[in-house]
Structure 1
Amino acid sequence: MTSVVPSPTPAVADELSEHVREALDSAIADLVTGALTWTHLTLDQRARLLERLHATVSAHAEEWADTAALSKGLEPGHPLRGEEWLSGPYAALVALDAYRDSLRALACGISPLDGVRTDAAPGGRLRAHTFPLHAMDGLLLSGYTGEVWFEPGVTVHEARRTAGLAQLEPTEPGGVGLVLGAGNVTSIPVLDVLYELLAHNRVVILKVNPTQDSLVAVYERALAPLIEPGFLRIVQGGGEAGGYLTAHPDIAHVHITGAAPTFDAIVWGPSTGPQAEATARRKREHHPHLTKPITAELGGVSPIIVVPGTWTEADLRYHAEHVVTMRLQNSGHNCIAGQVVILGSDWPQRAAFLAALDAAYDAAPARPVWYPRSAQKLDAAASSYPSASRHGDGSRLLVEIDTGQDATDLETTEYFAPVLGVVSLPGNGQEFLDAAVRHANEKLTGTLGANVLIDPETQTALGDRFEDAIAALRYGDIAVNSWTAFAFLTPTLTWGGFPGGTLDDVESGIGVVHNALLLDRVERSVTRGPFRPFPRSAGALGRRGRFSVLPKPPWFVSSRTGATVSEGFTRYRMDGNLARLAGTLVQAYRA
């Protein structure tokens, strides 16, 4: 059903020049025509279109990564430039491959879920083991696995029958969708465009965030196979352009990646200024300003639950670097950056872990804190917690909450900056884990991602109760001895907040994205990684734990060869050159 939406308000329209309004209207008109063309493409033609996109993205991958790195102040030779290869063209390429495979299966009358192992998860849930699905994935990311958990009650038959979403009825038009792109990670707008097209049959107008204006020309070249037939238009502008587009009568749906306050402003109106009173009235009366459907992927305060166990010195150092990576990757400007470490106050190794964390936080390579208003966020955290310690060049804040100290600001403010906090809870084993899960669910804002670090001996001792604790975490993506960013980068997993977000209380969003198997009624995705990297993972052979041939992962901020390996992994996804990949793997062992 098509919603009746208001015309742009005079205030918004007046702030845009006639030329800009005409350009936006023209872009939408092109897409209205393109939507008709899209519905006439067969599944096989859509799969071939994705192959063309793979070629054009590959052709511009180096330019994409370089432009993104420079926009964030990472000059040539900087050890963290590999982040922009992995979170940019790499993420787009693996998604294109996964969507293509799903389309090919559907074109042959096969469910994308056929051949994927399924079993039972706690609480009457079905679980599909969706990573790795190919041998090379298992080699490059050795020891890492991923699962999609469906809502309670979904059967194997239903999951397989409904896999495909809008591609089960490819001739059914979805209209024109608006994607309001994220400003922090360069693959997000591209992945959101693909999901609109393939999960919903919606052609897309993408308004990039102003922080990514330098990428627009790259996007236009890389995504030319979508732009030429009228399936995609890319536009620029600030909040005024976004407001005009969300209210446009030919926009059928809005998707945003961003923050909850931005979502609320779109749905209800400004919370400050002359329109604040009208906004408050609309909320009271439940009459949203936006009267068309909206989905969203929003951030939150992500926990890192460290389950007490008996760790070696190497374990303490490795996972301290793991935690620091969760906070400092992209300078902390990530919606799933780990922000609150939950430690056991009774853990005998608590002080040793904190010492390792302190050292790793200092030692991570220096880089700009580049996202707008980050300095204010850091100042706010320092004001709330005067005892916090400065690390690195002074732009990293470590907040250890003492007994009796108020942790509210730390646990409810998504700082989106290099602010890492530590809170402590009593207990060991299951008692601690259950308390930590309750604390994360009840005290921390958001439901997007949660991380759990646990040694294999402790996990084995907990048995099925550990899986029950994972089921109790109300998060859309959960990482066990991994980082939730792994779920973000894995297209056969889903990405989004835990189900239950509403217009009134959006939490970490509504709906999911990525999801290249096009699965319906998904509740969460769970990733699992090796507690110990190679060669220490060899101890898992024939015993407890996960074996991995992967040494320090290239996404660790402490990896000495992370930039080289990340670029090499991306180039392999571009052309499948095994000889060059061998050299990349040699570099991986020098991390």
Structure 2
Amino acid sequence: MTSTTTSAPADLDDAERARLDQDVAALQTGTRTWSSLTVGQRATLLRAVRAGVAATAEDWATTAAASKGLDAKHPLRGEEWLSGPYSVLGALDAYIETLSRLAQGVNPLDGVRLDRAPGGRTRVHAFPLTGIDKFLLSGYTGEVWLEPGITPNAARAAAGLAQRTPTESGGVGLVLGAGNITSIPVLDVLYELLAHNRTALLKVNPTQDSLVPVYKRAFAALIEPGFLRIVRGGPAVGAHLTSHPDLVHVHITGSAATFDAIVWGQGAAAKRRRRENRPQLKKPITAELGGVSPIIVVPGEWTDADITFQAEHIATMRLQNSGHNCIAGQVVILSSDWAQADAFRAALRRAYANAPERPTWYPGSPSRMQSAADAYPDALVLGDRVLVEIENGQDAAPLEHTEYFAPVLGVVTVPGHGQDFLDAAVAHANNELQGTLGANLLIDPATEKALGAGFERAITALRYGSIAINGWTAFGFITPTLTWGAFPGSTIDDVGSGIGVVHNALLLDGVERSVVRGPFRPFPRSLPLLNGGGRLSILPKPPWFVSSRTGAVVSEGLTRFRVTGSVPGLVRTLLQALRA
């Protein structure tokens, strides 16, 4: 994922530097106001924020779509409803619930099922927690796995994070916003405020400049009392702010290269600082930095409909937002011994080629796509997308070590069936692919049942912060009570996919990963008599699929339902969903 890099602060003129310093001073005053609010008052404030987001939802989605070259009739414009206002409204609802519970003296985990995951881990069943989510997203569940050794009692005792000590100020933090998904910058701000009691200065990525007026209207309830300031600017603004003595923390969503430039600097000076272990950044930093996400396809006996559906699923993982996602699936891992591998490859080529055309809009994408085409001259180039199928003897390193952040999808193989394949594929993902942010796995119900406990052991062995089984990790991103971030263990010396987590609306401590489980088959093939023991889903095709014929109208309708709660509107939306 790409964000703003740094350069010399001297590039700023005195007036701009003064304006930034005034914003920081206002936020310092805001920290005192925030610390004086009770948790109940904070919940009330979030309701006002929610009203602001609801009022701007249509403007938000249409502005975002236009900024990415999607006109009002484009079939994929619904992505900007789901990944923008819908995500933020869901997060606000979940945070309001957590704060309301704390204000009443109720633990955020009361009524939430906790049990054990392999390896001495506590597992929090964090989705679904409401009746409407159980209905609308039937077949999907989500778990947060805590680090080994944390007991259920310890998890309950720590739930709430900084909201357990609301009078203790966390100071003022800097959020360097992502440039690709419009909900990310403001979700990061909410986490700073609620998990850490830090007011926040948000510097938006220049790709999001058109959203700044929308953000300011939507979040006026946080801006007016001094809890949030939003600024534009390029590298010079970023450099001035990261070195500002009154900002106590930095959070960035971007690239590892940008992270290293912030922490160590650039050129020979950066190399010297690394050798001497003297980072130029003198404050703590957290980060979400992307990576190369695997899609493990476990061999089984699939129907033609299964093959078609899951091929479209994979095409969605890569092509949503034109591949400009840190969670875009990039490397499909197939079994070289799967009897249906050739049929699946053919279906994947069709799904990848037939997805609607769209602009490749993120800066630098054309050059990254060209680098993939140069590394693999035999790749299938389909205008706005590239498909690389690694053959025997080909070097997979460029594909597996480069986050293209563009519509480039690759296929690699490892041998084996059943548990042998799954263990080999997990090892390949862990050891060969760059990063630890998200991993996806597709497996039919009969094969999963046959693997038994071995399947859970394999999932435990995957070193990723978000894992989706028969789903896409984007579902974990959009679900506020799950967590989002790299697998623990990275440091500023070797940052990988980042440090820390966000979202986490239950405010859990000691998080290791989140695990999403979804339906292998859509409705009506998800019905028990047809599904072979799989999960029931009422969705014929999820609205986020790039192949969904009604995805745009359904995504808008679901967001409007979040805003109004209108049952007749929801019924109309569900009828459209049945036509997907």
TM-score bucket of the superposed structures, by smaller chain? over 0.9
Query: One-letter code of the match for 1:137?
Result: D
**TM-superposed deviation, 1:120:** 1.0
Give runs of aligned pairs for residues 523-538 of structure 1, distance below 5 A: 523-538=512-527
Of the candidates 119, 123, 128, which is equivalent to residue 123 of structure 1? 119
Of the candidates 446, 450, 459, which is equivalent to residue 470 of structure 1? 459
Of the candidates 172, 176, 181, which is equivalent to residue 172 of structure 2? 176
Alpha-carbon distance between aligned partners in 2 of 1:277 and 1:352, rounded to the nearest angstrom: 51
| Cα distance, 1:542–1:587 mapped onto 2, change above 3 Å | closer
Any conservation in 1 of the 2:10–2:236 contact (CA below 8 Å)?
Answer: no
Q: More displaced, 110-119 or 82-91?
A: 110-119
> What corresponds to 2:575 in structure 1?
586
Query: One-letter code of the match for 1:148?
Result: V
Alpha-carbon distance between aligned partners in 1 of 2:280 and 2:10, rounded to the nearest angstrom: 18
Give a deviation string over 1:433-481, Cα, whole Å, max 9, x none: 0000000000000000000000000000000100000000000000000
> What corresponds to 1:4 in structure 2?
none
Give runs of aligned pairs for residues 68-217 of structure 1, distance below 5 A: 68-217=64-213
Alpha-carbon distance between aligned partners in 2 of 1:403 and 1:543, rounded to the nearest angstrom: 35
Give a deviation string over 1:9-29, Cα, whole Å, max 9, x none: 9x7232001111011001001
Alignment of 1:310 with 2:301, yes or no, is yes
Alpha-carbon distance between aligned partners in 1 of 2:434 and 2:477, rounded to the nearest angstrom: 20
Alignment of 1:347 with 2:338, yes or no, is yes
RMSD, matched Cα = 1.0
Any conservation in 1 of the 2:177–2:253 contact (CA below 8 Å)?
Answer: yes
Query: One-letter code of the match for 2:339?
Result: P
> What corresponds to 1:461 in structure 2?
450
Of the candidates 260, 266, 269, which is equivalent to residue 278 of structure 1? 269
Alpha-carbon distance between aligned partners in 2 of 1:291 and 1:19, rounded to the nearest angstrom: 25
> What corresponds to 2:409 in structure 1?
420
Which consecutive unaligned segments of at least 5 residues does structure 1 have? Answer: 1-8, 271-275
**TM-superposed deviation, 1:119:** 1.2
Alpha-carbon distance between aligned partners in 2 of 1:251 and 1:208, rounded to the nearest angstrom: 16
Give a deviation string over 1:271-297, Cα, whole Å, max 9, x none: xxxxx1111010011111101000001
**TM-superposed deviation, 1:540:** 5.8
Alignment of 1:268 with 2:243, yes or no, is no
Give runs of aligned pairs for residues 373-384 of structure 1, distance below 5 A: 373-384=364-375
Alpha-carbon distance between aligned partners in 2 of 1:486 and 1:13, rounded to the nearest angstrom: 39
**TM-superposed deviation, 1:543:** 5.1
Query: One-letter code of the match for 1:219?
Result: Y
**TM-superposed deviation, 1:541:** 7.7
Alpha-carbon distance between aligned partners in 2 of 1:314 and 1:277, rounded to the nearest angstrom: 56
> What corresponds to 2:511 in structure 1?
522
> What corresponds to 1:6 in structure 2?
none
Per the normalisation by structure 2, the TM-score is 0.98
> What corresponds to 2:3 in structure 1?
none
Query: One-letter code of the match for 2:409?
Result: L
SS of equivalent to 2:527? helix
Any conservation in 2 of the 1:304–1:450 contact (CA below 8 Å)?
Answer: yes
Alpha-carbon distance between aligned partners in 2 of 1:309 and 1:27, rounded to the nearest angstrom: 58
Of the candidates 329, 333, 337, which is equivalent to residue 324 of structure 2? 333
Give a deviation string over 1:133-164, Cα, whole Å, max 9, x none: 00100111111100000001111100011000
Q: Give aligned pairs, total.
A: 575
Any conservation in 1 of the 2:445–2:532 contact (CA below 8 Å)?
Answer: no
Any conservation in 2 of the 1:52–1:225 contact (CA below 8 Å)?
Answer: yes
**TM-superposed deviation, 1:539:** 3.2
Which consecutive unaligned segments of at least 5 residues does structure 2 have? Answer: 1-5
SS of equivalent to 1:23? helix
Alpha-carbon distance between aligned partners in 1 of 2:499 and 2:248, rounded to the nearest angstrom: 16
Any conservation in 2 of the 1:541–1:547 contact (CA below 8 Å)?
Answer: no
> What corresponds to 1:502 in structure 2?
491
Query: One-letter code of the match for 1:128?
Result: V
Alignment of 1:323 with 2:310, yes or no, is no
Alignment of 1:574 with 2:563, yes or no, is yes
Give a deviation string over 1:139-190, Cα, whole Å, max 9, x none: 1111110000000111110001100000000000000000000000000001
| Cα distance, 1:60–1:378 mapped onto 2, change above 3 Å | same
**TM-superposed deviation, 1:49:** 0.5
SS of equivalent to 2:8? helix
Query: One-letter code of the match for 1:489?
Result: I
> What corresponds to 2:27 in structure 1?
31
SS of equivalent to 1:75? coil
Alignment of 1:292 with 2:283, yes or no, is yes
Query: One-letter code of the match for 1:109?
Result: G
SS of equivalent to 1:166? helix
**TM-superposed deviation, 1:108:** 1.2
Alpha-carbon distance between aligned partners in 2 of 1:501 and 1:204, rounded to the nearest angstrom: 24
Any conservation in 1 of the 2:485–2:501 contact (CA below 8 Å)?
Answer: yes
Alignment of 1:433 with 2:429, yes or no, is no
Any conservation in 1 of the 2:521–2:531 contact (CA below 8 Å)?
Answer: no
Alpha-carbon distance between aligned partners in 2 of 1:442 and 1:540, rounded to the nearest angstrom: 40
Query: One-letter code of the match for 1:107?
Result: A
SS of equivalent to 2:252? strand
Any conservation in 2 of the 1:540–1:547 contact (CA below 8 Å)?
Answer: no
Alpha-carbon distance between aligned partners in 2 of 1:581 and 1:300, rounded to the nearest angstrom: 36
SS of equivalent to 2:207? helix
> What corresponds to 1:451 in structure 2?
440
Any conservation in 2 of the 1:398–1:420 contact (CA below 8 Å)?
Answer: yes
**TM-superposed deviation, 1:390:** 1.1
Query: One-letter code of the match for 1:231?
Result: F
Query: One-letter code of the match for 1:355?
Result: A
Query: One-letter code of the match for 1:68?
Result: A
